[in-house]
Structure 1
Amino acid sequence: MTSITNQLIFSISLSIEAHTIAQEYSQGISNIVKQKQVYLNTLAVYAVDNYLQCMGFATDWKASDSHNNLAVKLMDVADLEVKNIGKLECRPVLPKAEVCKIPPEVWSDRVGYVAVQLNSALKEATILGFTPQVAAEISLSQLQSLSDFLLYLSELEVAKSPKTEASSSLVKIGQWLDGAVDAGWQTLEHLLNPQQLGLAFKNAVSMTRGQKIDFEAELERISVALVVKITSEAEAEGEVDILTQVYPVGQNVLPEGVKLSISDESGATVLEVTSRDEDNWIQLEFTAELAEKFQVKVVYRDLQQTREFQV
């Protein structure tokens, strides 16, 4: 157990609400052993559900087998549906246990298995870690950390998100001036607060649109807005002026280290800027020719989002 205590863990108080739900799910079961099993499974799911919501993941307990009265009576099941990701199995672990046991009926249709340790009074649940691989039992010392767990879920969410394909498609920015704006690009009123709008519109432009970008690194989740402004008032005919900016969403300043870069069609970086401490926004301005392609990259720590454009 030494290795577990050195890892990041998350504890949650098991409230009256948690025990009320567990009592509801286990009532009517005459077999004492089975009744206890359902009760503990429900507390484990409750804890993981609360944890994931705290971390910003959307869950749907009602769509899970553990919410189905017939399923919980027939099987040893403690699953939780995580939207756009899949089912997690939330296995309760008693205080002196050294392994997390996984019953055969939940060896399939799961994206991972989470070990939830319940204290002897059932007043607190501690999420110890997870494993993406199924086994009849796994040593608690072999569990992967919660940092790895959140990163794993984020990668699954991106891979399964319907927005992934749209995000990587070519944005025909040259058509914006004709009013044909690509799907997924919003007016700034939908992304930024009124104070930020004053900054965003400081330069006169013909068309401005933005897109929200979410990053998650370990336990930190940040959201930024990528803003693109285009005007045809370039000095040379057949060229457009383009201004790209990154603003914080939900905060007043950007985290230090957010990088904005512009690459040409070959992928070579031609412009780059990185946020400093207390920067309200960062920006890059350049001129592009009609039909020219370029990439805009927003990077935070080891995470990167790329948007491809054609004038």
Structure 2
Amino acid sequence: MSNTERLDLKIPLGQKAHAIARQFAVEQTTPQKGKQIYLNTLAVYAVYSYFKWLHIEVALEEGDSWHPIKQALFDVADLVIPNIGKLECRPVKPGEMTLFLPPEVMENRIGYVGVQFSERLDKVQLLGFVRRDTISPASEQIPIANLKPLNFLFDYIPDAVAHLALNASQIRVNLNQWFENLFENNWMPLEEIFSSINQKKFALRSISSFRKASVVRAKIIDLALQIGNQPVVLIIAITLFSQQKIEILIQLHPMNEKTYLPSNLKLILQVESGEILQEVVSRSNDNFIQLKRFRGNFGEGFNIQVSDGDFTIKETFVI
């Protein structure tokens, strides 16, 4: 993949990320240092969220950026990938064209990710990755144009990528618990997924015919590691139909302010045995696609697959 094919990957920054950043920032001795730590924290948390969506293990609190003394003494934004090393998540302000590398991040890093903020700090764009061993030890800045797509980062963790779909399918999402406000990691409210107000409103309107829905959750589905495709959002709305059944609506939406889904994406409903019950394929002008609403008894299981034909991610559910 060339730089011209760089993935336009935007990560929303929710209230939790800002609360952590504020907590770190107010402990600093000067406003300038507080602002630095605020942005560093948001950058690290955004990359952490991306890994979490992909079910790739990272250790958020083990880095220097989460250590009170080290974050006060140094300009660090590192995220620990267990058994791999430290990834530096460098913040990039709106309009900036380079990544600044302070001396303290030039050692003990596998590489650097550029994290560019929006003006309102409500989302970031992951600009790309560069390996530590490909830049000069004397480098203080890296032009954004020199960054490689994020796919290159995952050369360091091939086992995680190889088992991405498998790991996702092994996590059984318990829909019954959603009625008790108990949600598995990565299933979030729409406002935490869609950074654009208009996109969030459109997603809400698209499920408005399912007016009885008592719970709506969304998850980012990212096929980009393998095929360079844009991330999409899987939305599930559920409601109680009877004492033994729930009714379910499932949709697939574009992300990052994209108007249309990529062409030829398949959204598939399977029973646990693998038999396909429903399948819908996106066209070039589809704002979203959805399965026909269906009902299931408590205790029953089903699978949802998102596939481009070359690579498939499966989500497993129990009612």
Corresponding residue to 1:299 among 289, 301, 307: 307
Correspondence 1:266-281 to 2 at 5 A: 266-281=273-288
Partner SS state of residue 204, structure 2: helix
Corresponding residue to 1:195 among 191, 202, 208: 202
Residues in 1 aligned to 2:203 and 2:227: alpha-carbon distance in whole angstroms = 27
Does the 8 Å contact 1:186/1:211 carry over to 2?
A: yes
Q: Deviation of residue 286 (structure 1)?
A: 1.5
Q: Deviation of residue 221 (structure 1)?
A: 3.7
Q: 1:177 to 1:219 in 2, by over 3 A?
A: closer
Unaligned runs of 5+ in 1: 1-7, 12-52, 94-123, 130-145
Does 2:255 match 1:249? Answer: yes
Partner SS state of residue 277, structure 1: coil
Q: Deviation of residue 179 (structure 1)?
A: 2.9
Does the 8 Å contact 1:78/1:91 carry over to 2?
A: no
Percent identity over paired residues? 25
Match of 1:290 in 2: 298
Residues in 2 aligned to 1:268 and 1:289: alpha-carbon distance in whole angstroms = 18
Residues in 2 aligned to 1:217 and 1:171: alpha-carbon distance in whole angstroms = 23
Q: Deviation of residue 239 (structure 1)?
A: 1.8
Q: 1:243 to 1:153 in 2, by over 3 A?
A: farther
Q: 1:206 to 1:303 in 2, by over 3 A?
A: same
Q: 1:226 to 1:154 in 2, by over 3 A?
A: farther
Q: 1:278 to 1:217 in 2, by over 3 A?
A: farther
1:71-111 per-position Cα deviation (integer Å, ceiling 9, x unaligned): 88xxxx9963569xx99454479xxxxxxxxxxxxxxxxxx
Q: Deviation of residue 186 (structure 1)?
A: 0.9
Residues in 1 aligned to 2:233 and 2:2: alpha-carbon distance in whole angstroms = 31
Correspondence 1:58-137 to 2 at 5 A: 60=88, 80=111, 88=131, 90-91=133-134
Partner SS state of residue 224, structure 2: strand
Match of 1:38 in 2: none
Match of 2:176 in 1: 174
Letter in 2 for 1:60: E
Which fold has the larger relative contact order, with Cα–Cα distance below 8 Å and residues 6 or more apart in sequence? 2
Q: Deviation of residue 247 (structure 1)?
A: 0.7
1:254-273 per-position Cα deviation (integer Å, ceiling 9, x unaligned): 11111111111112222111
Residues in 1 aligned to 2:110 and 2:272: alpha-carbon distance in whole angstroms = 46
1:36-57 per-position Cα deviation (integer Å, ceiling 9, x unaligned): xxxxxxxxxxxxxxxxx9xx99
Match of 2:14 in 1: none
Does the 8 Å contact 2:168/2:315 carry over to 1?
A: no
Residues in 2 aligned to 1:300 and 1:151: alpha-carbon distance in whole angstroms = 20
Which is strand-richer, 1 or 2?
1
Partner SS state of residue 223, structure 2: strand
1:257-303 per-position Cα deviation (integer Å, ceiling 9, x unaligned): 11111111112222111111211111112111110011111112422
Letter in 1 for 2:88: D
Match of 1:229 in 2: 237
Letter in 2 for 1:270: L
Does the 8 Å contact 1:217/1:303 carry over to 2?
A: no
Does the 8 Å contact 2:88/2:109 carry over to 1?
A: no
TM-score by length of 1: 0.51
Does 2:215 match 1:207? Answer: yes
Corresponding residue to 1:262 among 260, 264, 269: 269
Number of residue pairs aligned between Structure 1 and Structure 2? 204
Residues in 2 aligned to 1:185 and 1:165: alpha-carbon distance in whole angstroms = 15
What is the root-mean-square deviation of aligned Cα atoms in Å?
4.6
TM-score by length of 2: 0.50
Does the 8 Å contact 1:147/1:218 carry over to 2?
A: no
Q: 1:303 to 1:281 in 2, by over 3 A?
A: same
Does 2:251 match 1:220? Answer: no
Q: 1:274 to 1:217 in 2, by over 3 A?
A: farther
Q: Deviation of residue 308 (structure 1)?
A: 0.8
Does the 8 Å contact 1:154/1:216 carry over to 2?
A: no
Q: Deviation of residue 157 (structure 1)?
A: 5.8
Residues in 1 aligned to 2:308 and 2:150: alpha-carbon distance in whole angstroms = 17
